[in-house]
Amino acid sequence: MDRERLADALVVANLPTVLMVLHHLTGDEKWLREPYRPRRSPGMDDLDSGGFSEQVQREIRSAAVDVIGAWADGAAVAIARPDLERLHAMTEACMGEPVPVEFAEMIGEQAGLGGAGQVHTRIDAQGPSREVRVGIVGAGVSGMLMARQLRDRGIECVVFERNPEVGGSWFDNRYPGCGVDTPSYLYSFSFFQREWSTYFGKRDEVLTYMKDFATAFDLRHLIRFGHEVQRLKWSQERGTWTVGFRTGGVEGEEEFDLVVSAVGQLNVPSVPDFPGVEEFCGEVFHSARWPDSVDLAGKRVAVVGSGASAMQIVPAIVEDVHSLTIFQRSKQWVAPNADYFRAMDHRIHWLMREVPFYQPWFRARLAWIHNDRVHESLQVDPEWDGQGRSINAINDGHRRYFTDYLQRELEGRPDLIEKALPDYPPFGKRMLLDNGWFRTLRRADVELVTSGVERFTRCGVVDQNGDEHTVDVVILATGFKARDFLVEIDVEGPVGSLRDAWAHEDARAYLGMTVPNFPNLLVMYGPNANLGHGGSYITIAECQAHYLGQLIGHVAQLGLERIEVKQEVCDAYNAQVDAAHAKMIWNVDGLNTWYRNSRGRVVTNSPWRVMDYWKMTRSVNLDYYRLTQTASVGTA
């Protein structure tokens, strides 16, 4: 190893991560103690310096050159796979603050640093097993993970994908500025990485990553592109699901023993039915259906909505358009993030390739900072009097921090501050990252309208104050039908339709994956599976694929015809979900979000920490399921 190159790379390295490398390679406890204990990173900043003095930084880098160089020359690794006690101590040292042991256990398995790792057991052809065929709907993140799980377990599966390529939402959404709002090294599969060009990847790079995943794990031959699933019908006589699909204008059917829905929550655009839209002479389209042919240059453009998609679109198009009118439906909390447009230094890529343990610990820090660390602050303190503006002391501190940031960014524009400053607690709605939003609002060619859209006219849009805004193009950044799970597929089970079972936007499932009265039907990214407190959904998808892979494996290994979660199990789980949500921020009176149905129940978000859900999905308890043997040998 070129030590000069190593020394140069360490200049830009994340030092808390380097400390973990030093401990792995030497086993020396000093790297876990003062003066080498990093400071807790503030906010969403990864704090590469660790908050160390210049002297301590030099000591760490100097030691790293010697130790890593010695390893490259053949020195043995002192601690390759730490036990849980040591891994927990390392995790707390790396983060610079107390960390639950469950988090250490989770990252240990994901990164192969400790624990049993993720093992996929193939089905033994001998014994009381049966061959099963599984139909998977969707080839996005969840569908591809499920296909990999089943393929690795020796179980036949077919993936139906309506699009001509993998990627799901990352294929559908192609609007300007589209990208992740979770760091790319976290919004990625734990076992498959790429050298990301930026800290927060943009859509084209994310889609390329998804394509590469499908190719690397030889999944493409399992996927039927251009096949849109329209219906699922259960046969009580055969104990199978018939998948009805449409491809090339022709309808077809195919039978499977089990079906996994991997269509997700954010796949069906929500398009408001504005009066007069058919009279409008310009272009109108949803952000998730961005036309390839659209040209915004010199156009008067309106954006309806001010959520995640709008916040990415607006700064990305403002330089090209003649003028921009934003119809804000609700105020949003916006967090600063210096890394949002930051390029990944090639030296960081080199460290991840060449230095052992650097990449998994780099990712572990991101997982803590952007996932579960904030969860505690989302619990309502019943003794706290926040007057609807905050829910506890920590949350009140968040409010002051984000308010100060907003006021600095909009200094001198009290009109914009009044329009933009939320009156609800931070994290009550999805926390957004500032990608130039506030700077864009200050421009003379940008207008922020807070009265909402009343109707369309031939030449533009009339707001709810009666003022008409002349525009050429209207972009509907109005979100998705997230509460209407599987809304585009007719699912007919043994006792009725799933649409009726989940009527009134009140979908419920055990662990967000299995539904009473719908045997052999499994759901990914289902009810109460969304991460509302931050982090990467891919982690949740990996948990679900692992669990469902085990469950389907039991069906094959035990020779089961049917497996169905018991009603009382699902009811008890959802009672726990509702009880947990009753103490959390998304259940606060007056908050109107896409997380809640018309009766106020939170139906999209999980109330659990990621580490809790990981623990829940490690193994399948068959006592929770009603099991039917093939040929109706018996029922448990």
Residue 590: what pLDDT? 83
Output the pLDDT for position 115: 52
pLDDT of residue 367: 94
Alpha-carbon distance of 308 to 287, in angstroms, equals 11
The sign of the CA dihedral 111, 368, 522, 550 is positive
* pLDDT value for 490: 98
Sequence-distant (≥ 6) Cβ neighbours of residue 98 within 8 angstroms: 92
**With bands split at pLDDT 50, 70 and 90, how would you rate the model's confidence at 43?**
confident
Q: What is the mean pLDDT of residues 616-623?
A: 98
Q: Where are the domains of the chain?
A: 3-118+348-373, 133-268+482-632, 277-338+391-476
Residue % of the chain over a pLDDT of 90: 91
How confident is the prediction for the chain on average, in pLDDT?
95
Contact 435, 465 (CB under 8 A): no
What is the CA 565 to chain-centroid distance, rounded?
Answer: 26
Residue 464 one-letter amino acid? Q
Provide the H-helix boundaries in 96-195: 101-111, 141-152, 169-172
Band the pLDDT of 119: cuts 50, 70, 90.
very low
Q: Please check the confidence at residue 137 and state whether its pLDDT lies above 90.
A: yes
Whole-number pLDDT of residue 443: 98
Mean pLDDT on 245-266: 97
Neighbouring-strand partners of residue 302: 325, 474
Q: How far apart are CA 504 and CA 27, in angstroms?
A: 57
Q: What is the pLDDT of residues 522-554, one digit of tens each?
A: 999 999 999 999 889 999 999 999 999 999 999
Residue 632 has what pLDDT?
A: 46
Q: For the chain, give the longest Cα–Cα distance.
A: 77
Q: Which amino acid is at 373?
A: R
**What's the rounded Cα separation, in Å, for the pair 539 and 543?**
6
pLDDT at 227: 99
Share of the chain above pLDDT 70, in %: 97
Contact yes or no for 333/378 (Cβ under 8 A): no
Per residue in 58-96, pLDDT (tens digit) is: 999 999 999 999 999 999 999 999 999 999 999 999 999
Residue 410 has pLDDT above 90, yes or no: yes
Task: Assess if CATH 3.90.420.10 describes domain 277-338+391-476.
Answer: no
- The per-residue pLDDT for 45 is 78
Residue 122: its pLDDT value, please? 58
Specify the amino acid at residue 202.
Answer: K
The DSSP bridge partners found for residue 261 are 137, 523
The 10 Å Cβ neighbour count of residue 487 is: 15
Q: Which residues contact 481 (CB under 8 A, 6 or more apart)?
A: 268, 269, 270, 487
Place of tokens 């690397």: 216
- Judge if 133-268+482-632 and 277-338+391-476 fold alike in CATH terms: yes
Task: Name the CATH architecture for the domain at 133-268+482-632.
Answer: 3-Layer(bba) Sandwich (3.50)
Type of residue numbered 413: R
Per-residue pLDDT at 584: 97
pLDDT attached to residue 534: 84
pLDDT of residue 111: 81
**How many residues make up the chain in this entry?**
636
Q: What is the pLDDT of residue 116?
A: 45
DSSP H or E stretch at residue 60: helix 54-72
Confidence of residue 592 (pLDDT cuts 50, 70, 90): confident
At 634 the pLDDT is 46
